A and B are shown apart, each in its own frame.
Chain A
Amino acid sequence: MKALLLSNINMQPLARRLAPWDVACGSYNSMLADLATENSPAATSDALHIICLHDTDTLTGEAFYGFGPPVQCEMLVAAIDGFCERHPDKVLVVNTFCLGSNRWLGFADFTHESSLKTTEAQLNARLVGIARARPNLLVIDFDILFRRHGEDALLSNAFWYVGRIRYTAKMFDLLGETIKRAIDAHAQKTRKVLVLDLDNTLWGGIVGELGPLGIALSEDGAGRCYRDFQRALKAIRNTGVLLVASSKNNAADVDEVFDQNPMMILKREDFAVIRANWQSKAENMVAIADQLNLGIDSFVFIDDNPVEREEVAKFLPEVAIPAFPARPEDLPNWFMRDVVPVYFGKYAITDEDAAKTEQYRANEARQQMAARFDLDGYLAELGIECAIHVDVENRLVRAAQMTQKTNQFNLTTRRYNVTDLARFARSPEHAVLLLDYRDRFGDEGSVALAIVDLAESRIDTFLASCRVIGRKVEDRLLDKAVELCRARGHRKIVGEYIPTRKNQLAADFYEIHGFTPSALFPDGRKIYERAINA
């Protein structure tokens, strides 16, 4: 990946920490000009990520001491907005305005008309507004880093006065990690499923020995650690992470906890799957992946027992398994600091994310119904309603999420970010088709996506969530793609299948839908064609 690093201070030590990316540094203190001018390296280079990290104390200039408004800060806000608007194909990474703790106004800084605290808050509020409007702006909150690690550990006076380097090695390390994670989150490269042990993980003690009301789960003492952990789990469940319980226990004992213990924050319906049995954790995890129709490499496993963790690591190396804290009092903080940002860091939350668990649970109900009906009867009974939207700019975050995460029913597995999709949506030569689905069990939101090159009458991307496979929604999406190409006067439409380790499910899609193979490449890639005469 190519990136360009801009700043108003010396940030060269960061470039090395972003390896293996190919990172070039802008000229010293050329940040504002680089963002604002049209022929600057930021505008013209082939770097897709422009990392622009400013030092707020320096940028504030004389205004830091109350002499006039922070003109350069205002200029930076305008330059950020302008750059994002002019370059929707690039991702601009910036930091929040974050002044040091030095306050010449002392206690009066909170209320004074020249208050630095107020100035900082106003500038950040404008940054929030821009970030909400521009999906290619990625803002990193410096305040979080300073709150957690402290100025004394992250700032260096000696390096500042000798070489205009504001930060210590520790801060540069943190920045390197944070930027990489943020860019992954922006590209929606995160895990989907959190598999949780129960005894001594979700609550203290062993339910089989202590009973449903004897386990440690309370508002005071050690039980509070587990309750706070459950609160944090509920919070990330609402961002689209699927919670799964997997426990070596009698199912009836686990049921009693959910039914009888009033201190449980997490309820049955918060879990996409609950498995309590005496099978190995690895076996259970494979069965869960099958049930959810998700790859095992999207799983994170939390278990207090190192033997269980080792067993899963041995048989399922794709599963992420963070070490468990030794003391229960560290559990909530460990989870929020060392697990969530590393595996589940989100940059945008869609409506579909918030309803994810309900969607998977509704799918279970559909599968039970399918077992009672023949296919056509089943589909009729479902009462399916589909709506296909073309080039909907405000849905591109979800569309990008689908290209990043869909592996199985994905004909070409091309991964696109929001800026790529914005380019397609704005191009008259392309159409981005998003299919929304609902049936009598609930609203699944956007579940299928196609990107069609209308100039070449070629389907670049065609994918559908495995949640809806078998319900013929993909037929409706293909019909729409054909309709758009036909309207452009084309007489044939071209499809493509690129085999991967995971998309065998889609291998026959084009043949089943009347396409004939026209080219086969040594790597297995196939090109198909179908006549679409009126």
Chain B
Amino acid sequence: MHDPEIQEPAIQSPAIQDSAIQAVIALVAKTLDIPEDMLGPDSSMLDTPQWESAEHMDVCLAFEQRFGRTLDMDAITTATSIRALAALVPRTAD
């Protein structure tokens, strides 16, 4: 059954994905209190020292608030990169 909470990133158009990635970079940088240029589309918890598990909870809380979308347990535990989070950003009308 389709889970309405999780969107497939492949469906997003490249333009939306870019804007979503930029929005997620801004949100993660602000939450971790680091400059945005320390993060890129391929950044993740693995290669960002400030993005530890406790901070990831902050990132996910901020994501819910910023994008008005409730994350489920699976999304919280697996969306640990900029791209994975951007894939969860609700799409707006073009």
User: A residues near B, CB below 8 A?
Assistant: 10, 12-13, 16, 156, 158-159, 161-163, 165, 168-170, 172-173
Contact = CB atoms under 8 A, between A and B. Distances in A.
B57 interface: yes
Contact of A169 (B62, B72, B75): B62
Contact of B76 (A12, A159, A170): A159
A158 B63 CA distance: 14
Contacts of A169: 61-62, 64-65
Contacts, number: 42
Contacts of B36: none
| Size band of the interface chain B makes with A | 10 to 19
Given A10-B57, A12-B54, A12-B57, A162 B64 contact: no
Contact of A170 (B65, B71, B77): B65
Contacts of A16: 58
15 contacts: A12-B58, A13-B58, A13-B61, A156-B70, A158-B70, A158-B75, A158-B76, A162-B77, A163-B54, A165-B57, A165-B61, A168-B61, A168-B65, A169-B64, A172-B61
Nearest to B58: A13
Nearest to B73: A158
Which of A156, A161, A170 has most B Cβ within 10 Å? A156
Q: Main SS of the interface on chain A?
A: helix
Interface string B68-84: 00111101110000000
B67 to A, nearest CB: 11
Contacts of B64: 156, 168-169
Contacts of B77: 162
B19 to A, nearest CB: 22
B60 interface: yes
A239 B50 CA distance: 48
Given A12-B57, A159-B61, A163-B54, 9 more contacts: A13-B58, A16-B58, A158-B73, A158-B75, A162-B57, A162-B77, A163-B53, A165-B57, A169-B61
Nearest to B56: A163
Contacts of A168: 61, 64-65
